[in-house]
Amino acid sequence: MLDVADPTTAQPVRAALRRAAPALLAYAAVRLLGVVVLASWGLVEGEGWHQLLSARWDSLWYTRIAEEGYGYTLYLPDGRIHSNLAFFPLLPWLERTVAAITPLAPADAGLAVSWFSSLAAAWGIFAVADRLYGRRTGIALAVLWAVLPTGIVQSMAYSESLFTALAAWAVYALLTRRWVWAGGLAALAGLTRPVGLAVVAAVWVTAAVALRPEGWRGPWRSPSGPALGMAIAPLGWLGYVAWTGARTGSPLGYLDIQHQWGNGFDGGLAFAGFVRDNLTGPFPLAGIGLLAAIALVGWLYVLCVRQHQPLPLLVLCGVVAALALAGSGYFGSKPRLLMPAFPLLLPPAAALARIRTTPAALILGCAALASAVYGAFWLHGSGPP
């Protein structure tokens, strides 16, 4: 490790923020570029950027929950049933709270929460990489996360930014052996998205290793030991799933709700069929592109292992990728679902950190422009359901 600074204990928060400032400024610039390109595209298409970011697709469901609570069900003409119980509660809770204490409407509160969370996520991502590989790698990783093709989602009233912020800081807490903080952040992540299980898994696996006699001294005697973090971590996810089960009258109520939405876990069979259909259909290049994308994810994970990333990072991105690729939901959402797997970007971030500043900035600048253009095209087209 080139830099093992601890920005939450060894330095005051203000100093830690100064250290992260280049990463946060670069991240904010990339996201601002994405919104500006989206707004400019909207002038031609006749659709406002504000509606696309705050009042389309899932953001409408979150806003309704914030305004009316749970209980709304949409009955589709084909017989499918979509219940808003499919959406975890932390984002709408925050939307309702922000709307109650500010002049913002719930939809705008959702945007505010998402934008603030995206900065918190960028800071957490920077902190993880900075601790492990140094400041330049931290900056590169935060910017790489911003320039993902689906990066515009980070600026939407969606839960990806909030979840990634909680996941990144939970990983950082694990790296610094703050077990209670890690467990608490994992519990909040479990209230944010179903994939909160990935953060719980990272806490459990890391804490289980630390609980070995040679791994940690006296964990059971310390109130901040691994065992307590393990106990806290699943409470958010289990609490919401149990509440949903009680509300629907079935212990498997949440799984039934997800099934009604067409979501489930089949080990990747449905996704394999989707790839096969593209390969044998009229546009085989689409299938080839999907295979290349899957291979890229696998290759990046192998590089993460070879990079000797700490256990919590490998568990987090491994479980996130497995749940995203092996699920049977809408296939167009898979790139968005992979977004919290930020450790996959550490190998290219480390490579960028080793080259000179000017060519690295040029590479990231071109990627930022491409991401902004793709995001505008995407949201004015099929969008991220």
- For residue 153, which amino acid is it? V
> What's the rounded mean pLDDT across residues 140-168?
97
Distance of alpha carbon 121 from alpha carbon 54, whole angstroms? 19
At 213, the pLDDT band (50, 70, 90 cuts) reads low
- In the prediction, which pLDDT does 282 show? 86
177: left (phi over 0), alpha (psi -120 to 50) or beta: left
Instruction: Say if CB 21 and CB 74 are below 8 A apart.
Output: no
- In the prediction, which pLDDT does 77 show? 87
- In the prediction, which pLDDT does 283 show? 84
Residues in the chain: 385
- In the prediction, which pLDDT does 19 show? 95
* CB-neighbour burial class of residue 191 (10 A; exposed 0-12, middle 13-18, buried 19+): buried
The tokens describing 108, both together, are: 């705008």
At 381, the pLDDT band (50, 70, 90 cuts) reads confident
pLDDT one-digit tens code per residue, 100-151: 999 999 999 999 999 999 999 999 999 999 999 999 999 999 999 999 999 9
pLDDT at residue 298 tops 50: yes
Distance of alpha carbon 217 from alpha carbon 206, whole angstroms? 15
> What's the rounded mean pLDDT across residues 337-349?
97
pLDDT at residue 264 tops 50: yes
Among 123, 164, 212, CA closest to 156: 164
pLDDT at residue 220 tops 90: no
Q: How many alpha carbons fall within 13 Å on the CB side of residue 198?
A: 29
pLDDT one-digit tens code per residue, 28-83: 999 999 999 999 999 988 889 999 999 989 999 999 999 999 999 999 888 889 99
- In the prediction, which pLDDT does 8 show? 45
- In the prediction, which pLDDT does 80 show? 85
The overall average pLDDT reported for the chain is 92
